[in-house]
């Protein structure tokens, strides 16, 4: 009985080793040292946001909202703006990069804003097609007279059926804990996206 259990354990370990090492070259290539990933991120998803506004006189206010959308839609949170991203792999699997978003709108609710989010990530191959690529960093966003700074994390999965492109999908979490909207109004913000979907190309 013990020998059978030991053989089963060795067989499982060998299978896991094959899963993580014997991958086709196209799956390995996107996270090899020197490779660059260019992506359009958070282009589709289900997004939830919660804001807390602390005013000097009336006190605090709280707002929550949810949105589902594709492309440049009316995102419930600036952290959910569709953004362009570039990541470079400094060594195999370890990436450094960031994303940049921009917003402008005219009319009764006119305004504009910019978002910048540097990050570090580590790619973990799961199979010949799928890779787990968790990433984390911080985000700075300025919208009209307000601005906010916070931490951001993404548990991204990459499906790469072809050598030079892939689909990104997974949950995103953003927490803006230092923010203001002018006139001594403090602003804190929490947002969650699941799934958040994008597309990437590599070279």
Percent of the chain with pLDDT over 90: 50
End-to-end CA distance of the chain, in Å?
A: 51
Cβ-proximal residues to 86 (8 Å cutoff; 6+ apart), any chain: 36, 37, 38, 39, 97, 98, 99
Alpha-carbon distance 201 to 107, whole Å? 35
Query: For residue 12, how far is the Cα from the chain centroid?
Result: 32
Q: What is the CATH number of domain 24-202?
A: 2.40.160.20
Per-residue model confidence (pLDDT) at position 166: 94
Give tens-digit pLDDT for 112-147: 889 999 999 999 999 989 999 999 999 999 988 889
Q: Which residue, 111, 116, 200, is CA-closest to 163? A: 200
Per-residue model confidence (pLDDT) at position 117: 97
Give tens-digit pLDDT for 10-34: 444 444 343 334 444 444 579 999 9
Count of beta carbons in the 10 Å neighbourhood of residue 159: 13
Residue 4 has pLDDT above 70, yes or no: no
The two three-digit tokens of residue 136, written as one number: 């984390």
Contact 46, 76 (CB under 8 A): no
Please tell me whether residue 25 adopts helix, strand or coil conformation: helix
Residue spans per domain, the chain: 24-202
Alpha-carbon distance 49 to 191, whole Å? 4
Q: Which of 7-11, 50-54, 179-183 has the highest mean pLDDT?
A: 50-54
Residue 105 has pLDDT above 90, yes or no: no
């Amino acid at each position: 009985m013990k020998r059978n259990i030991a053989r089963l354990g060795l067989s499982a370990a060998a299978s896991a080793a094959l899963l993580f090492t014997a991958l086709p070259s196209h799956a390995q290539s996107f996270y090899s040292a020197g490779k660059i990933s260019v992506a359009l991120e958070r282009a589709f998803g289900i997004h939830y946001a919660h804001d807390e506004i602390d005013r000097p006189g009336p006190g605090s206010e709280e707002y929550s909202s949810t949105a589902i959308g594709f492309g440049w839609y009316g995102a419930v949170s600036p952290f959910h703006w569709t953004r362009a991203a570039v990541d470079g792999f400094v060594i195999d699997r370890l990436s450094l990069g960031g994303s940049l978003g921009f917003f402008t709108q005219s009319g009764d609710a006119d305004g504009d804003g910019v978002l910048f989010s540097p990050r570090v990530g580590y790619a973990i191959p799961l199979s010949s097609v799928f890779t787990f690529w968790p990433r984390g960093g911080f985000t700075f966003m300025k919208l009209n007279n307000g601005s906010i700074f916070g931490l951001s994390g993404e548990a991204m999965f990459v499906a790469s059926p072809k050598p030079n492109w892939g689909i990104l999908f997974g949950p995103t979490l953003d927490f803006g804990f230092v923010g203001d909207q002018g006139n001594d109004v403090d602003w804190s913000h929490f947002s969650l996206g699941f799934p958040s979907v994008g597309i990437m190309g590599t070279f």
